[in-house]
Structure 1
């Protein structure tokens, strides 16, 4: 069969990497972990990752932008998204650049997103302290900071926001 390695031989790391990248974007660290888990030598993996980045096939900046957009669409806040990007191996400067690009493009209005996320999940602000605390925990768990949380609790169900 064409494109398949001969029996007993593993595919080169580049082939595995291309297959993975064809499905979705990966951070460099994630892709390295996947390739290492498939049994490729560390030196081969690093050389492959360097080549892919040089050719523009793998980009941490592109991964961060794509990841950020998808998490905003899910209604997740900046704290949770930032932590997840760090967990996936992106450096703080790359994360900061992705957030800046997103805010510059008008994709990330965290206060409006917090309001929208809260109003979709709950029908109103809650009548008791226990219900309000539940709404606060919900937004905090989604990764919104204190100011965004307070803003959402005050404005989520008003018609002007």
Structure 2
């Protein structure tokens, strides 16, 4: 690879990582979308990874924190990380570090969307269940959220 494309690739990676954390495969996808050859990009991204500038562990932490702030459950966050081929241990470590109470988060998300009262009928209850499933909560979180009713 000549020096000029390498320099442009490095500048692109630096700009992307300056804005936010990116997963390894996400960087490669974005670079290939910009028209760079994958064979030229992989060594440069590997250098960033080995230097600790790019980290899938930090990406997982960022993704989990961001997802919790948006009201997403653990299933959705795991799926988001799997989309970029993030190692499961990084996701698990991020869950442990954030110490989220998934049950309470499910309650907060449900109450924000549907109010604090009980579901009016089975159709309303099904709607709430589907919504919480879409948000990525497991069935035990959903059942807990539906059981917490404030009048």
RMSD: 1.7
Partner residue of 1:101 out of 90, 94, 97: 97
In the superposition, the TM-score normalised over structure 2's length comes to 0.89
CA distance in 2, matches of 1:57, 1:140: 35
For residues 5-44 of structure 1, the aligned pairs below 5 Å read 12-44=8-40
8 Å CA contact 1:30–1:89 kept in 2: the answer is no
1:141 aligns with 2:134: yes
**Runs of 4+, deviation exceeding 6 Å:** none
Residue deviations 1:81-135 (CA, integer Å, cap 9, x gap): 11011012212222222222222xxxx1100000000011112222211111111
Alpha-carbon distance in 2 for matches of 1:142, 1:129 = 20
TM-score relative to the length of structure 1: 0.83
1:1-161 matches, cutoff 5 A = 12-103=8-99, 108-123=100-115, 124-155=117-148, 157-158=149-150
Deviations, residues 3-45 of structure 1 (Å, cap 9, x unaligned):
xxxxxx6552111101111111100010011112222232321
Unaligned runs of 5+ in 1: 1-8
Provide the aligned length of Structure 1 versus Structure 2.
146
Alpha-carbon distance in 2 for matches of 1:142, 1:72: 10
